[in-house]
Amino acid sequence: PQHEVLVLELGTNHPGEIERLGSIAEPQIGIITQIGLSHLEGLKSLEGVRTEKLSLLKTVERGGLIGLNGQDPLLADVKSGVHKIVRAGFSESDELSAKQIWCHEKGLSFHLDRFLDQTRGETTLFETQLIGRHNVLACLYAVMVGSALGVDFPLIQKGVASFRPVPGRLVLKTIEGVHFIDDTYNSNPTSFRAALDTLKEFKIRERKGVVCGDMLELGDRAEELHRQMGASIAALLFDYVIATGPLSRFLVDEALKNGFDPTRIRHAKDAAEAGRFLRETATPGDMVLVKGSRGTKMETVFECFTTSSTR
């Protein structure tokens, strides 16, 4: 009886699941965070992902709030005659936007550039323990929903600042002097690219490395998308890369084709072997992104630094 708000994630990997779950939840507010390259095995294409996610609008009550990613071109033309649509992003055209974004080793800070009439004279500065520029959008969605629910603005700021990263989702940890970005919970091309950009943003003198496993549930585009990530990794000029899984062979091959130094990239048979390779390669001060789909169990990499049995 003491609860006032229920927050639900509506997950999908096949057509029709969002509409079914939405009809059960009957939400007053719906947020579509992005249209990304995930679950293509069931949803087939980006357009399939878009169609599936937009089915949420069928279940949000009339007059309810629909929050959209203002940075996503696949959501740019979304309209509704029965909902209030609010876009979050980094441009002046967004109803809720962020400016003066600063990414650092302890998180993010930014200023709110919209909804200023709701600040009631308070500072517009937000700080969060989340890392990665893309997570500013996550904070903007929180501001959007909190404001819609009538939460006092300073309390929204406090909530954003106190939130701790979810395990396996871009969590910073240091083991034996090596700084890890633990993003092992899952992987797809969109989240992998965001994680690579996050690693690239860190201003350190020491080396940067990537340990990655296969991205799963990509259907017929699996080879193509792993090759695209290999080309991206080569362009970002990381100091070393260790990839594991059968699909990641395409990533390694494409990185080499794009000029990545063959002495700085290796393929491992599984996550445990990737961890042993990393232990041979990494030195204190290095920053290493560890990323892969759930089925690759990339958290095993850390065991090579914390337990003697896998060293």
pLDDT digits (tens, 9 = 90+) for 12-48: 989 999 999 999 999 999 999 999 888 878 888 989 9
Nearest residue to 41 (alpha-carbon basis) of 74, 12, 14 = 14
Indicate the burial class of 175 (C-beta count within 10 angstroms; 0-12, 13-18, 19 or more): middle
Indicate the burial class of 105 (C-beta count within 10 angstroms; 0-12, 13-18, 19 or more): exposed
Other CB atoms closer than 10 Å to residue 297's CB: what's the count?
16
Query: Where on the phi/psi map is residue 219: left (φ > 0), alpha (ψ -120 to 50), or beta?
Result: left
| Distance from chain centroid for Cα 77 | 23
Q: What pLDDT was estimated at residue 41? A: 83
Q: Using an 8 Å Cβ cutoff, are 35 and 74 in contact?
A: yes
Give me 173's structure tokens. Answer: 């940890």
Residue corresponding to tokens 């290095």: 286
CA distance 84 to 304: 50
CA distance 260 to 239: 10
Q: Which residues of the chain have pLDDT under 50?
A: 116, 309-311
Residues 6 or more apart whose CB falls under 8 angstroms from that of 200 comprise 208, 236
CA distance 289 to 89: 26
CA distance 160 to 47: 32
Give me 37's structure tokens. Answer: 């390259």
Using CA atoms, how far residue 208 sits from 6, 241, 247, in Å, is 40, 9, 23
Q: What pLDDT was estimated at residue 308? A: 57
Running DSSP on this structure, what letter comes out for residue 221? G
CA distance 24 to 200: 41
Give me 197's structure tokens. Answer: 């950009």
Residues 6 or more apart whose CB falls under 8 angstroms from that of 123 comprise none
Give φ, ψ of 171 to 5 degrees.
-100, 130
